[in-house]
Structure 1
């Protein structure tokens, strides 16, 4: 009886605290993710107020949070959207993966963490935060901009790539050999391909089967189906998150819209719990030793994301200002970086990976909205200054030539030129 009372008090305090932090973030107009992570650090081991009885329940809630995050992401896109994006924007996806995954892998190897940690950290630095970026686009009123489809296409390709990447990471973290890892990847690709085929061909039939006019029944069916598929996927050593993502893709039309509206509050609740749980598993004392590598990695990958967005927008024929806006918007990392790092933390492959990922995400989830707002104005200002300096150079050179031609003497006073005002004055007199 006493333990259940302690559990209710602790868990209630966590939820209440998250609500207050969410309000604070809303007033300050930035993502609440860094505040949730800081709350987890405060409630975890080595924090200000460590949790006890409710930690196991928070772990289950965090897993549900990951599943709902990926489900809601899948609901945003249809299978036909994904197929068309693959056909038209795959070069941008390849450039994105090369520029942004490589720094993470190199950093892990330089720190001596080994190849498995290198693959994990590559994913942490590769994937942008769809949630933070979507909010930034809404807040800045850029949803109708010409560069926005390019940004969304890159995000879609990253999310689709997770269906391949997460099974690979899961197999590596489980210590599976080459044969078992290849089998896991083959199963994941086969399931993903099958779901995409069924969604394109029979999406309406699936949606009609799930559809219901009663919101309660729709919520129960969609949530139950998602958890069931996620559990089966995890049993097959395919990521549960991938299973949830594929369920979201398979649903379309009014069903997807209705499920999105019903599940959004649940998603926000359990996603917040997930970020807290990740912070719970990170000792605050372990962050200062990895703060410098995290800061260096954040600076480098902020630059590579800007380059990715600029190149993709240039390829789509977007003017220069839109290219810089696209690049600056893609900088933010968030939920998916933490999801990937969370898999490694649970597997226990490298104790410092969790703290580094936490510090890295904290830096970029704050820096991301700033680069989205400021990259294009900053570049425009620098370009204007450079243009002004170039324009002034011939004038200075001409003055220097005149001075040298006169033997170093001061130039003779020029006759006063007739100004516009003088011209109007002359016309008035006449």
Structure 2
């Protein structure tokens, strides 16, 4: 008999148990994640009734790979363009939730008598919500188009990035075992440096690489290249002292900005499902009933704190950002859970050996319970928010309405703010890339040429030459780019801003010179560095125009790659018409919807539901302010404006009828041809008068008359004798209605 390694047997047991349990949970209409946790518990070392995993260490390796793939997939769903467009409300709500829950979690742990590290990790675990669980709950309840749902999605986008920062800070704190402000500040600056470098560099190179390879890219090759890039970034992140999960997330977010992002996400999805199942099952394996029984009181308290604390923290942030009280309460109750990122944070503490053994199963227990309660909390948010609003005095309601309207109506941006934003962005980005080039030059290029030249001066000269060529576009950008635009010129003429603008310009010139001096001083002696400095400055001034063209090409390449996908409908801001409840939202038309093939004039949505269609996104086509004769097609993304009640009504109109779904198996569409005779139904009628869609459930796609073919005839077409009409529809209904 051939011996099977324990790893294969364990993997088969994990997937088999996951399959059976998740089928049961699916039948019971419970989240699949809970099924994975239960499967892990049943095959884990703490439950002996069923076969048990033999080599837990090997499973943990699979689980670590699962974390990497899971974060890579989350990165593919993440978008920096979406992050820039979430607006102030989502950012304020997310940061309010994270900061308040960090403090609440920490002081809760201290009240239990836990160690400082356990308390800090508990705060981090409670500070983030579950993207997967919330999106799935919104889809099941059918409220993705409502106003507060848009705000929740924005909060989740901000939380995704904030959690990555938390992972880095927690890793640093775990290694040092003490909270040092200087070290934390250095870690944040280091993280910002590498995030900017990796993201901008990745956007510059990777879309171009995929574009060049497109003729050679099959699905298999695209998947392999994507995973190899993911693992490469995992290695770079680890080498820089960050967690592997950070590298996976960053590469996923970079690939999400390419025109292949959606396709890559689709290809990676089965792998994510596989390794994600292994990860969540491995989490369930760590559930120890004895620990849960022992710590039932902390579990109960933390559960209550999670629900109440998140309602307060995120709801307060939403209210302060100008959202209505109703929207704020609905947002807070929707975010009242912990999920996949909390598992990863708990795993980090356990892997680094800085948290106690009880924290992980407590996290799993709270997550499992809040996963179960999330759909009910979202449903409960509607009557609860209405009741709270009804209980408030009228003066309070009026004050909140005025505050909301005033906050959301502030949209003017001064020239000073525009200039300051451009100045800071330009300075930070090009300084980071200049430092990166200098580090690369001094750490790798210079030692290489020194070895090749055996310590002779030409090695340093070649290094300086290569480095200056690489640095020249960034020096140009630091010194001149975006400094003489319209805003800067207006401010220069204003006496209150003139001097500070001049000082800021001078600072950037000095910064570029300082970076040049640092680079030369690290390669040459002081005397040689001074001479080289003068020569380099003269060279940069003389070839300034050529350097400008070089920089513009680099900038254009980045902007083309970054904007390659355009701005999708879902990425647009969704402002609210304050103080009313009307807001923008996106609805995708399903293929089986009854509205497919009808014009906006026929549908009469304004009369029936009170909504207006502002634009329609159809693939790469965007139809702004569609006309009344615009036809709705399957997969159309409708960008509409209306109140929550109106949007709910239009969702019910767009939702496929049950009778349609039930009769799908009986419906056999075919292409039929009908010859029009004088005694037939169609003779003498126009296409519109024939009403074929209703009486025969068919669509006329073409007509042949006197040897000529007319494709998609107009509605005013009159049928004549001997017309050959091509109709797509049900064979029996077409024949019974027309012959």
Q: TM-score range by the shorter chain?
A: 0.7 to 0.9
Q: Counterparts of 1:79 and 1:71 in 2: how far apart (Å)?
A: 15
- Is residue 2:229 matched to residue 1:225? yes
Match of residue 200 from structure 2: 197
Q: TM-score, normalised by structure 1?
A: 0.81
Task: Give the stretch that moved more between structures: 323-332 or 306-315.
Answer: 306-315
Q: Counterparts of 1:102 and 1:227 in 2: how far apart (Å)?
A: 35
Q: Counterparts of 1:288 and 1:209 in 2: how far apart (Å)?
A: 59
Question: What's the offset of the Cα at 1:371?
Answer: 0.4
Is the contact made by 1:331 and 1:364 (CA closer than 8 Å) also made in structure 2?
A: yes
Match of residue 515 from structure 2: none
Q: How do 1:373-388 and structure 2 match up within 5 A?
A: 373-380=379-386
Q: Counterparts of 2:351 and 2:45 in 1: how far apart (Å)?
A: 15
SS in 2 for 1:147: helix
Match of residue 455 from structure 2: none
Question: What's the offset of the Cα at 1:51?
Answer: 3.6
Q: Counterparts of 2:264 and 2:213 in 1: how far apart (Å)?
A: 10
Q: Structure 2: where are the runs of 5+ without partners?
A: 394-739
Q: Counterparts of 2:65 and 2:99 in 1: how far apart (Å)?
A: 31
Given the superposition, is the C-alpha separation of residues 328 and 87 from structure 1 closer, same or farther in structure 2, using an over 3 Å criterion? closer
Question: What's the offset of the Cα at 1:37?
Answer: 1.8
Determine which structure has greater relative contact order: mean sequence separation of CA pairs < 8 Å that are 6+ residues apart, divided by chain length.
1
Q: Counterparts of 2:392 and 2:144 in 1: how far apart (Å)?
A: 31
Match of residue 103 from structure 1: 104
Given the superposition, is the C-alpha separation of residues 249 and 207 from structure 1 closer, same or farther in structure 2, using an over 3 Å criterion? farther
Cα deviations by residue, 1:268-309 (Å, 9 ceiling, x for unpaired)? 221121112123234331111222212211112212222344
Match of residue 57 from structure 2: 56
Is the contact made by 2:92 and 2:318 (CA closer than 8 Å) also made in structure 1?
A: no
Question: What's the offset of the Cα at 1:238?
Answer: 0.5
Number of equivalent positions: 387
Question: What's the offset of the Cα at 1:320?
Answer: 4.7
- Is residue 2:12 matched to residue 1:12? yes
Given the superposition, is the C-alpha separation of residues 143 and 357 from structure 1 closer, same or farther in structure 2, using an over 3 Å criterion? same
Match of residue 371 from structure 2: 365
Q: Counterparts of 1:304 and 1:167 in 2: how far apart (Å)?
A: 24
Question: What's the offset of the Cα at 1:53?
Answer: 3.6
The structure that is helix-richer by fraction is 1
Q: How do 1:319-358 and structure 2 match up within 5 A?
A: 319-349=324-354, 350-358=356-364
Is the contact made by 2:43 and 2:53 (CA closer than 8 Å) also made in structure 1?
A: no
Match of residue 281 from structure 1: 286
Question: What's the offset of the Cα at 1:259?
Answer: 1.0
Is the contact made by 1:151 and 1:309 (CA closer than 8 Å) also made in structure 2?
A: no
Q: How do 1:389-400 and structure 2 match up within 5 A?
A: none
Is the contact made by 1:103 and 1:301 (CA closer than 8 Å) also made in structure 2?
A: no
Question: What's the offset of the Cα at 1:144?
Answer: 1.6
Correspondence for 1:236 among 227, 234, 240: 240
Task: Give the stretch that moved more between structures: 337-346 or 308-317.
Answer: 308-317
Given the superposition, is the C-alpha separation of residues 313 and 92 from structure 1 closer, same or farther in structure 2, using an over 3 Å criterion? closer
Cα deviations by residue, 1:111-169 (Å, 9 ceiling, x for unpaired)? 23322222211111011000111111111222221222211111111111122111111
SS in 1 for 2:78: coil
Q: Counterparts of 2:51 and 2:113 in 1: how far apart (Å)?
A: 31
Q: Structure 1: where are the runs of 5+ without partners?
A: 388-430
Question: What's the offset of the Cα at 1:3?
Answer: 6.1
Is the contact made by 1:163 and 1:188 (CA closer than 8 Å) also made in structure 2?
A: no
Is the contact made by 2:7 and 2:59 (CA closer than 8 Å) also made in structure 1?
A: no
Given the superposition, is the C-alpha separation of residues 44 and 340 from structure 1 closer, same or farther in structure 2, using an over 3 Å criterion? same
Q: Counterparts of 2:288 and 2:134 in 1: how far apart (Å)?
A: 28
Task: Give the stretch that moved more between structures: 223-232 or 201-210.
Answer: 201-210
Match of residue 72 from structure 2: 71
Match of residue 216 from structure 1: 220
Question: What's the offset of the Cα at 1:23?
Answer: 2.1
Given the superposition, is the C-alpha separation of residues 112 and 361 from structure 1 closer, same or farther in structure 2, using an over 3 Å criterion? same
Question: What's the offset of the Cα at 1:202?
Answer: 6.3
SS in 2 for 1:174: helix
Q: How do 1:113-124 and structure 2 match up within 5 A?
A: 113-124=114-125
Question: What's the offset of the Cα at 1:361?
Answer: 1.1
Q: Counterparts of 1:299 and 1:79 in 2: how far apart (Å)?
A: 34
Match of residue 260 from structure 2: 255
Q: TM-score, normalised by structure 2?
A: 0.49
Q: Counterparts of 2:95 and 2:162 in 1: how far apart (Å)?
A: 10
Q: Counterparts of 2:98 and 2:392 in 1: how far apart (Å)?
A: 33
Match of residue 428 from structure 1: none
Given the superposition, is the C-alpha separation of residues 5 and 115 from structure 1 closer, same or farther in structure 2, using an over 3 Å criterion? closer
Given the superposition, is the C-alpha separation of residues 146 and 213 from structure 1 closer, same or farther in structure 2, using an over 3 Å criterion? farther
